[in-house]
Chain A
């Protein structure tokens, strides 16, 4: 065991300063046989949970601390001795962050007075050369240095404050140590050695230099004053440190005695639920029971024995696990939302619970859909259950505010999300630090996947600059690889909110995110690991969409549609789904979904649950999905590996699809308890060593054989579960989503005008751009009317069964501008351009754009003339007399249809009048280019040529380089599949061109049509090719008009 402990150590959670992961530091400490090691990141405990976990695993004692800045002073190293000290540390750090005003000059800092108030249980070290005492000594201000030492000794006690000695082989270091030891002796405090570690191994100093450059926004060459002058800031062994401080052996010894003083546990299970205000005479579980029965009576009439049994069973588990308070908190949030008309819906495994259903948190009947409570909650689970609530995006703020008000700001905070370096931003930042040519770096960044740098070596090798020796390619590549997954900064997690009983500020430091929200310094995994409870409030735009649609229906048709009571078996809805007519429909509009719907042919709600579960972004394992589809289409017999599996897998034709099924199988076949079975499921979902898998397999097989199964069969069943484990879906989650899917399909089918209108008003959302939505609406017979200054509102509206576009779709028309138009119009309609211009006072750009999208078309003047007039108006002074001489009427040719569409695309993102392909059709149809609807009806194997706007482009990680496109023309959409080979040959075209022409063979499998691409051309190329081929003599060059926004 080493006799030195490092007490001043930065991980990469000292953002843009530390260059090693917490785990790397621990692993190196273990190699050095350090008995303990501290983590002291800048102003925070960001990496503490990971550090903690790794240290415990390695058998090393973790010491929790931070390096803080004192306001008006310098750095100090603080270490927590015990839980009181830990809480104080959290308070000090939170205070520094929360009281920091964003735009003020000086950075986050701790007030001296605060330090004095919350010093109990903390050991303080005087800091690095940026510490006050060291600075005074360097400035030859011995008196001030001594005074400071006395001050801190008073605050932390003579046994709680130490002068910190560091020696990094800088010219003044040795002398500084001598002086500091003198200060220690004169002030009666101890001294201790540290190494201000910034990386675990010396070779990481390169990355550390680069991080500093990124932080200071400069290059390596220009950053000498910010960087360390040498590479001494690594985790040193006790021998190295002893040699370094051979004149002060005491300094080394004291590191161990300080370590012995520190002992902190990160377990906050006691901090969980805030005290819930209960009515007289009730405790948490009795109140919960009451609410459940009230709710169940509404959900189930009559209340059967089955319902009551399940309720009691679940309430028993909840009581034993001490989670009654958690359910009450969630119930209360949902109740408040309902009262305020805020759309909310529970999602995830919570739908497995009848308690959640009875409380109105979820909308799916777990008994009817045979869901499994144990998937959500069982007494053997580690960690806490997850209740996620989807709330309408537009109402999320309101709901969050309620929670803050209800429980107090000290008890609520949002969970943080750690933004890390990934391929693209890594390339950009590293390239900049290395001062590589900006254009080259940009090209490289765009050529790789956003998140994966796996292709980087190949992409670099392809560059012509690769042979250029002045570019440090080796360094660049290894730095990009090293920096991957490094924390960069914190942002707010999408939904997670922590609610705690004791003030949260004592368990985890809080700070403000860029948007002003108070967040914890930990991410959701960390929060879960220490036992704190969180509720996820996720904004779901679909809920806003549904809310708005219902509002429009009420407004225009005069009644309130209750989605809770619509029949779930409307055959028209399923027919629409089978046709994959699902643009805008929740969960089933993606390209992949549209390909599966016609093959899966959903007929009833259960089918929809499967559809939602089966087609996910992520690993779509051919093994499990295709058998289901084959059996569904009658291409394969429905068989079961063993008759005992029938009742469990019958609903999915003998194919294992749901996690709940896997759990049931383990229970029925191998006699696992539901808790064990759920653990089995989780265990197999993660990477497990061969040994572990063998062990689990052994238990399963022995359990199965005990129950009379043949070993071979048991083995095959286990294999099925194992291979399914990583992508099997949670049925309750699928059921919740299927419900919302059905509702949105229902609305699209029966109230299309309101539906599309709400869809356009809630963009961006979903899989498709507004452009596709507008065209889909038109194909469904809903006309889309242009923006009109006398008829449009800021948002899109329904006008006589048609959709009137709103000002929100015009560039330069922000909320304020749109509101002004609406306000002015109340005084009376606009009579002319001039009338509009002067009454609203909008900017020239905004009015110009309005003209170009046709907002003034109802006045009858051509757009060119209006633009001319605008030019004159802009020159006039507003309150002067109108021009005495009417302007000379200029006869200007109107814009061509193409020019109009092009401007509309540029300003709105789409055209309401017609699809660009409609205008282009003539130019390209001579050589066999056909429309998408024609292609979709041809026979499999036919060679076709199609063209269209690229409205979807995907290259999923799991598809091994295959690229999927969706092209849209004036008749509809068509799917294109591009093999990796063809993709590589045409990568630039496919990635950048807005309109493509594809030649390939038609594939028609079970009603799903794809064109397997063999050749790819841009529109430009095709038009040119056909022109030459047919030596046409059309005068206007296609190139000029091809300014369609991509």
Chain B
């Protein structure tokens, strides 16, 4: 029985990697990974005919992600909790850091809209931290499944 569930989790990891890859490609396509492109995406640019985002429009994009982030982080973390990893001591920090970076990644655009332009850096940093933490947890899960 245990072996059968390992397959499911292994495939879940494969889907998760595809999800991360598609999110990075989508971010690159829509926003871009530079400070200027983040500001341009949210604040608009008359020369490039890019409209500034409205808070209501932003909330429409964020809304499904609030649920998605919460569910996805919970599923991944709960799998990690059941592994026989020797990293149990760092688990509370890992849980906090993942949720906090996810939260900042989602809500920093509102601060950009309200004039705090340096939050563009925070948006990029939180994205990098969030995705790195997820990749780290995927690695813990993968090595736990492979090493049994």
Task: Tell me, yes or no, whether A binds B.
Answer: no
**Residues of B bordering A, CB below 8 Å:** none
